Amino acid sequence: MNKLIIFLSTIFAIMLLSVSCKKNIDTVQNPKPDNSTPFVPEQTLKEKAPFPIGASIDPTHLKTNLRYKNVLIKEFNSITPENMMKMNMIQPAPNRFDYTKADELVNFAIQDKKRIHGHALIWHESLPTWVQNFQGDSLAWENLFKTHIQTVVGYYKGKLAGWDVVNEAIGNDGGTRNDNTNQGSIWRRKLGADYVARAFLYARQADPDVLLFYNDYGQESNPKKLQAIISLVQDLKRRNIPIDGLGLQMHIDINTSEAGINYAIQESVKTGLKIHISEIDIALNPSNSTLEKPTAEMLERQRQKYLMVVRAYKNLVPKAQQYGITQWNVGDADSWIRSYLKRNDFPLIFDVNYDRKPSYYGVLEGFK
């Protein structure tokens, strides 16, 4: 028995010795990494993007949510005020211009050296009630229209890179919204179809340098509307109306046809204008079903669609026409689809905690 114990103890001692020798050899052959090597942080969107990359932003989130602010600072180099430059916010009463909230965003962007894209001077939505109820002849309407454009553009002269001068003037039927439904435009009814051209002329008079955009949605899924938008801007160009760019909002979903997206970009490029993918989001839940959490398959399809759009933009839009891509909102929690459409969706590249989603990496891959 004693002999057996001595034998087993010897074997155990030999094993221990060999493990300790191996450790020593490993330490010599595979030294620990040199901690004096500088740490290279993971690169962010704005560092990798070959064109400006933006997000639409809101001052309340910026002030109250540190994660939102940090992601914005770290990842994006362009901003669009989501709502604070709309007419109801900026001219809430006749000739009372209130830039307080818009300026919070503009000052933040200037301090952080981000480009600012103004949104939107003339739109049939988000109008103050005084405009909706305004009674006046065509001269009075023209004066109201011109004053709004020139006061706001003049105030921000030299600070903004571009303006959405007219937003969504074309209806889903390809017409000019000359009707009394909630699809109709008060500007079209009061000022005639050529108000679009005059808006651009007035804006140019107020700032000779800022880039002037026409912005609309649905080009990728509605060829008739796409064609109407192209005809509108071609007509403006033919008449030497000062227009510099075309915004394709790109509120799409994971089922949107790739052919439609490519076609809309290609046709828009032919106008020679700068192209802004101005409000992108890619919804997972367009049919509004109960969706607590996105599935891995949905997130993968969303990644592929972001990749596809960014790659198409990079490859189909000549460098000189690339104004950039702007995401509408920052993280899934603050998407307008939740607050405005009241739909539970996850359409962006940052999740509700502002962490990177698979779609984020789709965008990064699209830059290559």
List the catalytic residues: 168, 279
Q: Provide the binding-site residues for ligand G3I, judged by CB under 6 A.
A: 82-83, 86, 125-126, 167, 217, 249, 279, 336, 339-340
CA angle 259, 319, 348 (to 5 degrees): 55
**Which of 107, 61, 105 shows the shortest CA–CA distance to 80?**
105
Q: d(Cα 78, Cα 101) in Å, to the nearest integer?
A: 18
Chain residue at closest Cβ approach to ligand G3I: 336
Is 288 in contact with 258 (CB distance < 8 Å)? no
Q: Which residues are paired to 248 by β-bridges?
A: 216, 277
Q: What is the Cα–Cα distance from 314 to 51, expressed in whole angstroms?
A: 9
Helices 138-155 and 195-206, interaxial angle, to 10°?
40
Phi, psi of 212 (to 5 degrees): -110, 125
Tokens standing for 67? 């994660």
Q: How far is CA 151 from the centre of its chain?
A: 26
250 — phi, psi (to 5°)? 65, 45
Specify whether the CB–CB gap between 359 and 303 falls below 8 A. Answer: yes
